[in-house]
Amino acid sequence: MDMTTQKLRVENLPGINVSTYRDIGSPESTIKPFTILFIKPFQKTHDNSYGPPLGILTLIAGIRAFFGATATVHFWDMNLYNNEPETLASRLDEFKPDIVGVSALNCEAAASYKLASIVKKWNPETITAIGGPFTLRQAPLIFSESHFDWVFEGAADRTLIQALQRFFSDLPLSSDIPGLSHRSATGNVTHNHAQDLITDMDAIPLPAWDLLDFERYRKRDRKRIISNIGERRYAFLFTSRGCPYLCNYCHDVFTKRFVYRSEESVLEEIRVLYEDYGVTEFHIVDDIFNLHRPRAQSIMRAIGKRWPGKLYLAFPNGLRGDILDQETINAMVEGGTYHATISIETVTPRLQTLVEKNLDIAKAKWSIKEFHRQGVIVQGAFMLGFPTETLEEIRATLSYAIKSPLSHAHFFAVVPQPNTPIYNLAMQESEAATIGMANDERTSGDYLSPKTWYSRAYGHDLHSQIRSSFIRFYFHPPRVMRLARAYSIINLSTGLWFILKSMAKSIPVTLSRIIQPGKKWSSD
């Protein structure tokens, strides 16, 4: 299916505020000096992962550039050090912040709420602010459940600076800052749910990379060996924002409009990371890097020409499989791409239509085979347990993955997120399961809830199905041989340990299926 025949949403939706980063203007002369502490929270889960918090680092860079010495900025990645929220109390006396900003995923809501409470106990006048994927269209809920004063929905590169400028100039925040909902000292809440869409991405300062301990991230995130097989010093890169496709499970944090940085801007950030910080591994985390094919090809070729054989590129997400073509894949390999993720989600045409992804499975399969032919390690991403999905449809997707030339696969249990279209569909299937799943994810702080939405709605043990499928996937003989050729003994052993550790519960079921293949098992 050609991209031009796909259903795309390229116009600006209601509630989107189109702006430029340069709209910020100049600092007011009346701004009082202030101290701000940015926190990435730690929420213990079944499968903790670690990586540089790119959003926070970008916000810090903007504040530094705009306020200069007027702002004292501190950054603490509690997740990197597994620091529980309670450890914040002692650091508050050290930093003495006027404002504490938290960036949170949905599964970090519980830890974020604790952090806000601790800050308010330390000093009720300290402003508590929260942003990140969790907050989009969730401001009313956050105000009702937590001690946060400011809630930013969507990108806050420009709007956070605008809010800080007003607040520390003793000016009212008012209701005109896109995406900022705020609570006054008397408890009155003012809402603005618009998302700020910044179109001049090159104007946004490069992230504050100087604040990172790159070696700590490299050593801490052992599980990233799947996409960083050399365990090299790595960094994340955003080269674009937004995706025009209509997938109804998507948060749309960066809206449906595709905006991107220039080739020169991307190359300059790579140069800084490579020359100043010794980074040789780059994980491009765009929503859809290959949407603008001429741009993607040009960037990849420029990287290959400027740093031939010196850099390693991985795409943990952000590649649409059915719009990749030969020229783009060739350019990506030329640029140093050795790992790519293709999101399939489901192989059932009915479900592709239902969730509005409308992926051409045949073309995506060609992309997987072509990457594999050129020596690129390919990972597939699959979603299981959509509303109305049958067990036969789940098994068809799993069978496709196991028999494919993929080297790695992630099987995710569908979590219908509040305020996404799929949430409404899930509510129609089972209101109790849908509300219960959302509450558990927010309060328990874990995407891997003991019971999936599908299990709650239909009674099928989806976790067991996923675990047993992982075993079958990774012990598929042709795949074992491919992995043995691609990985060192140390990395292969470590990766195998992670797989077996997380999948251990399914081994008895898998062995029973081998011994008695005709029997109906409870996990079916």
Give tens-digit pLDDT for 308-351: 999 999 999 879 999 999 999 999 999 999 999 999 999 999 99
CB 85, CB 114: distance < 8 Å: yes
Residue 257: both structure tokens together: 């409009």
pLDDT at 493 over 80: no
Complete DSSP assignment for 352-406: HHHTT----HHHHHHHHHHHHHTT-EEEEEEEE--TT--HHHHHHHHHHHHHSS-
Q: Verify that 156 and 264 share a domain, yes or no.
A: no
Q: Verify that 172 and 310 share a domain, yes or no.
A: no
Q: Verify that 192 and 217 share a domain, yes or no.
A: no
288: left (phi over 0), alpha (psi -120 to 50) or beta: beta
- 264 C-beta neighbours (distance < 10 Å), count: 10
- 418 C-beta neighbours (distance < 10 Å), count: 20
492 in a structural domain = yes
203 in a structural domain = no
pLDDT at 519 over 50: no
Which amino acid would we find at residue 346? Answer: T
Q: Verify that 278 and 184 share a domain, yes or no.
A: no
Is residue 504 very low, low, confident or very high in pLDDT (cuts 50, 70, 90)?
low
363 in a structural domain = yes
110 in a structural domain = yes
Q: Verify that 276 and 189 share a domain, yes or no.
A: no
Give the pLDDT confidence score for residue 112 in this predicted structure.
97
Q: How far apart are CA 521 and CA 515, in angstroms?
A: 12
Domain boundary among 198, 225, 253: 198
Q: Nearest Cα to 407, choosing from 383, 362, 375, 363? A: 375
206 in a structural domain = no
- 42 C-beta neighbours (distance < 10 Å), count: 22
Q: Verify that 78 and 218 share a domain, yes or no.
A: no
Q: Verify that 274 and 402 share a domain, yes or no.
A: yes
CB 368, CB 406: distance < 8 Å: yes
CATH number at residue 138: 3.40.50.280
Give tens-digit pLDDT for 208-222: 999 999 999 988 875
Query: Can you tell me which residue has the tokens 């399914």?
Result: 506
Average pLDDT of the residues in 269-283: 97
Q: Please state, for a pLDDT cut of 70, what percent of the chain lies above it.
A: 86
Residue 354: both structure tokens together: 């239902």
Domain boundary among 142, 163, 198: 198
Q: Nearest Cα to 118, choosing from 92, 143, 149? A: 92
Is residue 262 very low, low, confident or very high in pLDDT (cuts 50, 70, 90)?
very high
Number of structural domains found in the chain: 2
Domain boundary among 135, 170, 198: 198
CATH number at residue 283: 3.80.30.20
- 31 C-beta neighbours (distance < 10 Å), count: 19
Average pLDDT of the residues in 279-299: 96
Residue 96: both structure tokens together: 């003495």
Local structure of residue 430 (DSSP, 8 states) = -
Q: How far apart are CA 64 and CA 53, in angstroms?
A: 17
Q: How far apart are CA 298 and CA 365, in angstroms?
A: 24
Q: How far apart are CA 318 and CA 79, in angstroms?
A: 24
- 196 C-beta neighbours (distance < 10 Å), count: 26
pLDDT at 498 over 60: no
205 in a structural domain = no
pLDDT at 443 over 80: no
Which amino acid would we find at residue 246? Answer: L
pLDDT at 9 over 70: no
Q: Verify that 345 and 470 share a domain, yes or no.
A: yes
Q: How far apart are CA 53 and CA 102, in angstroms?
A: 11
Q: Verify that 313 and 419 share a domain, yes or no.
A: yes
pLDDT at 420 over 60: yes
Give the pLDDT confidence score for residue 497 in this predicted structure.
57
Q: Domain of residue 180: give its range.
A: 3-198
Q: Verify that 345 and 433 share a domain, yes or no.
A: yes
Residue 444: both structure tokens together: 């328990």
34 in a structural domain = yes
281 in a structural domain = yes
Q: Verify that 464 and 497 share a domain, yes or no.
A: yes
pLDDT at 494 over 80: no
- 107 C-beta neighbours (distance < 10 Å), count: 20
What is the model's pTM? 0.90
Q: 3-class SS at 251? A: coil
Local structure of residue 252 (DSSP, 8 states) = -
Q: How far apart are CA 146 and CA 442, in angstroms?
A: 12
User: If you average pLDDT over every residue of the chain, what do you get?
Assistant: 88
Q: Please state, for a pLDDT cut of 90, what percent of the chain lies above it.
A: 73
CB 448, CB 47: distance < 8 Å: yes
Give the pLDDT confidence score for residue 236 in this predicted structure.
95
Query: Can you tell me which residue has the tokens 């599908």?
Result: 454
Q: Verify that 83 and 118 share a domain, yes or no.
A: yes
